[in-house]
C-alpha cells in the first residue's frame, strides 16, 4: 500500500464501515486516564537516579519519548548507551505503576456508554496494547472489562509493536474480521499510526496528547472522550447505514 492509499484509507468515515463487525481499543489513555500515573512514575524514578542532571522531565519530553511507546523503545530513548539498564529501569517502573493503578484508575468519560453500544450490537472487540501483560491485565480487570474483550493483543507478542501495524493486523486475524468493517480507538501518535497503517479508520482521543500532534498521525477524527457528540453522530449514521444495507439485501 502506498502512502497515498494509506491516507485515503485512513480517512474512510465510520458509516462507510457498515455493517460494522468489530471495535479495537488501545488501553493506556484510551480506556483509562493512566498517562498521569506513568508520567509520575518516570518523573520520580528518573530524578532519583539523576537523569538529565536531575532536571525533572516535563510533559513535552514525556509525550515525545514515552507516551504510547513500547518499553524496548523507551529504554533505547532513555538509556541509549546501556539498553539492559534501560529495560531493567522500565521493568521496575511498571511495578510502581501497577501499585498506583490498583489504587486509582479513572475510566475515560463515556467509556461504559460505548461498551454497552458495542455489546448491544453483538460486535467483536479486542484490546490492542504496547503495555506489558501484567499492566494490561490489571487495567482491564480494574475497569471491569475482563469479560468484555474477546482477546487482548500485546505488542510484545508481535514481530513489531506499535507504531507498526502488526498488533492491529493480528487482532483482525484472531477476531476473523475485515479491516473494512472495523475501527480503532487510540490516544497516542504511535497508536494512531499503527491503526492507520493497518488500514482502519482511527478515532483519536485527546486524553493527554496535543491535538496538533495527533492530527499528524492522520486519525479519521478526534474526540475529547466517549461522550463527544461527534462520535455519536457517526455511530448513529453507521447504525442507519447498517440497517438500510440489511434491508437492501
Residues serving a catalytic function are: 26, 28
Distance CA 241, CA 220 (A): 18
Q: Is 74 in contact with 65 (CB distance < 8 Å)?
A: yes
Q: Is the dihedral of CA 76, 82, 83, 86 positive or negative?
A: negative
Per-residue three-class SS string for the chain = CCHHHHHHHHCCCHHHHCCCCEEEECCECCCECCHHHHHHHHHHHHHHCCHHHHCCCCHHHHHHHCCCCCHHHHHHHHCCCCHHHHHHHHHHHHHHHHHHHHHCCCECCCHHHHHHHHHHCCCEEEEEECCCHHHHHHHHHHCCCCCCCCEEEEHHHCCCCCCCCHHHHHHHHHHCCCHHHEEEEECCHHHHHHHHHCCCCEEEECCCCCHHHHHHCCCCEEECCCCCHHHHHHHHHHHHHHHHHHHHC
Q: Which three cell numbers stand for residue 234?
A: 457517526
Amino acid at each position: 500500500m502506498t502512502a497515498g492509499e494509506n491516507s485515503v484509507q485512513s480517512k474512510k468515515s465510520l458509516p462507510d464501515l457498515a455493517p460494522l463487525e468489530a471495535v479495537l481499543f488501545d488501553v493506556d489513555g484510551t480506556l483509562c486516564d493512566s498517562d498521569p500515573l506513568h508520567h509520575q512514575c518516570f518523573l520520580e524514578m528518573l530524578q532519583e537516579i539523576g537523569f538529565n542532571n536531575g532536571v525533572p522531565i516535563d510533559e513535552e519530553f514525556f509525550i515525545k519519548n514515552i507516551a504510547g511507546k513500547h518499553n524496548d523503545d523507551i529504554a533505547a530513548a532513555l538509556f541509549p548507551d546501556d539498553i539492559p539498564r534501560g529495560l531493567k529501569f522500565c521493568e521496575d517502573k511498571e511495578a510502581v505503576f501497577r501499585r498506583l493503578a490498583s489504587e486509582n484508575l479513572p475510566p475515560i468519560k463515556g467509556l461504559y456508554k460505548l461498551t454497552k453500544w458495542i455489546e448491544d450490537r453483538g460486535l467483536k472487540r479486542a484490546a490492542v496494547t504496547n503495555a506489558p501483560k501484567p499492566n494490561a491485565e490489571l487495567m482491564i480487570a480494574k475497569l471491569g472489562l475482563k469479560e468484555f474483550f474477546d482477546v487482548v493483543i500485546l505488542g510484545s507478542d508481535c514481530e513489531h509493536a506499535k507504531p507498526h501495524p502488526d498488533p492491529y493486523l493480528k487482532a483482525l486475524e484472531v477476531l476473523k474480521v475485515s479491516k473494512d468493517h472495523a475501527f480503532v480507538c487510540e490516544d497516542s501518535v504511535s497508536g494512531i499510526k499503527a491503526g492507520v497503517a493497518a488500514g482502519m479508520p482511527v478515532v483519536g482521543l485527546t486524553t493527554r496528547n496535543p491535538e496538533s500532534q495527533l492530527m499528524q498521525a492522520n486519525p479519521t477524527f478526534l474526540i475529547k472522550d466517549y461522550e463527544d457528540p461527534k462520535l455519536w453522530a457517526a455511530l448513529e449514521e453507521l447504525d442507519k447505514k447498517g440497517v438500510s444495507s440489511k434491508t437492501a439485501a
